[in-house]
A and B are shown apart, each in its own frame.
Chain A
């Protein structure tokens, strides 16, 4: 809102509505099954410099992620972050068994909406004291089918969250038309997450993202990514899943989840069993050159590399996009052997930088500054969530 003080002097007032320019955000990855807690990164953008103010593990919320409206409507224990992470805003990256992040087309999206639209009005969330009534948008004319079956289908505009069939989703168009990337989470989980950080105390939730969608912005400030002019391929290896993303000049061209592929936890288990290691030794072996664990890794890595090859071929054949920079992110250990295997099969080495490369680190935090690239990967989703929430400023 603009307030005119004099004929020539006008000031801008923000009364809580509209878009905010975020310059200080704490990204937190929730429900990641990490025994150390929730990875959290406080990211500040000031004078065109991206700096990490704090990074570490914060205690997990007392209440578990709800599995139903009944659980979501129960009184929540307020969750507060340590003082180092008390930025004005928080970006939450949630790993939920009910979430989805996928590349699709508007037609497929509309088909889904038309099929699920009647359920929207049929299952309104129960209202309880303290729970806000969720707003419903009027139906979009183009979402209606010829026979009127999709009369209740919601309007889908890029970047605006929409609820359908008890699921809230949001979509963004990809650089490759007509594809879009769509991300969704059950409505009750979004509502629960929106109230997790109490109002009036720093931070409060400014962004709720699924963990895969939060990963996509984590590469933004990587010097190697910038050196490749934003044209690169990224393999995001997470605890239970692997995601692939192709970028062209910084824009997302391709996103897919590797089908039938387990994450790095299963890989560690396999290496541990195959080599007969204790749990504490697995990461050391995977980062050490003394014992070659590739034979143990191959059943897990090879399918991923095959999917990468398929994706690179797709980009090459459909978009004539030759990519020679492939990043591997999220791996807590063993990136070196992944790279060797990729070089053997794809003739492309994998780049495994530290998550914090390209970012200014706090000068007194020696522990964070000396963190190895492998150890820094735990903060990948938290950093990506914070960076994505600050995208509008970039």
Chain B
């Protein structure tokens, strides 16, 4: 049996209302408004964050500029420190390269035999060292190096004197080979003649007239001294 299909409903579909407390026609505008408000808040937050980041960026740039100035100062100070340290090192090397000859001359006076007249004791000036940087040409703006590039410098002692015969000179040379001069003078005999020490550069008749008319012999003996080292 088919049930009677008689529903004489006077209510229009458009008049039907929802019993749900959540109504689509109410919630849709509310949700749309909330979405708009959410977007505005989001944009506001973004704008705030952008402003904050911009302020931080400006602050960091200012800090960076200040730091750059400080950094430049520090770099200058470090450069000055390096230069001063280099100068100090050079001074230290010069201090270490300094040679004293007081003891040598005092000992020398004690061993000079009779019959020998010392005319002069000479330590020749070393050749002038090149103090320009490699490849640089001399000029007012070129700053020379603080110290010699060659850290080892040879030193010689020239003994000039007169004598009446050879014996006293030999005695003098024998005395200078003694332990008192070991640290100051280099004795090297069994080597080629140009590297020997002592090396007799001249031993000849003295041409200058003597007071009593004696004929004297002039000698020139070269000793190599211990090397002068520019090292710390």
Contact = CB atoms under 8 A, between A and B. Distances in A.
A207 B1 contact: no
A150 interface: no
A203 B4 contact: no
**Residues of B in contact with A, size category:** 20 to 34
Nearest to A219: B4
Contacts of A352: none
B19 A200 contact: yes
Interface string B6-29: 111111111111111101110000
B7 A389 contact: yes
B17 to A, nearest CB: 4
B106 interface: no
B183 interface: no
A101 B6 CA distance: 12
B172 to A, nearest CB: 119
Nearest to B2: A250
Contact of A204 (B1, B6, B12, B19): B19
A171 to B, nearest CB: 8
A184 interface: yes
B3 interface: yes
A135 B14 CA distance: 9
Given A17-B13, A194-B11, A250 B4 contact: yes
A230 interface: yes
B5 interface: yes
A132 B16 CA distance: 11
A391 B16 CA distance: 17
Nearest to A229: B1
Given A200-B21, A201-B21, A205-B17, A159 B3 contact: no
A3 B229 CA distance: 98
A170 B8 CA distance: 6
B22 to A, nearest CB: 8
B3 A391 contact: yes
A54 B155 CA distance: 131
Interface centre among B1, B10, B18, B24 (most CB of A within 10 A): B10
Interface stretch (A29-37, A63-71, A209-217): A209-217
A391 B5 contact: yes
12 contacts: A16-B25, A161-B10, A170-B9, A190-B10, A206-B16, A208-B11, A209-B10, A220-B3, A250-B3, A389-B9, A392-B5, A394-B3
Given A20-B16, A204-B19, A392-B7, 14 more contacts: A15-B24, A16-B16, A135-B14, A200-B21, A201-B19, A204-B18, A213-B6, A216-B6, A230-B3, A230-B4, A251-B4, A251-B5, A388-B6, A391-B6
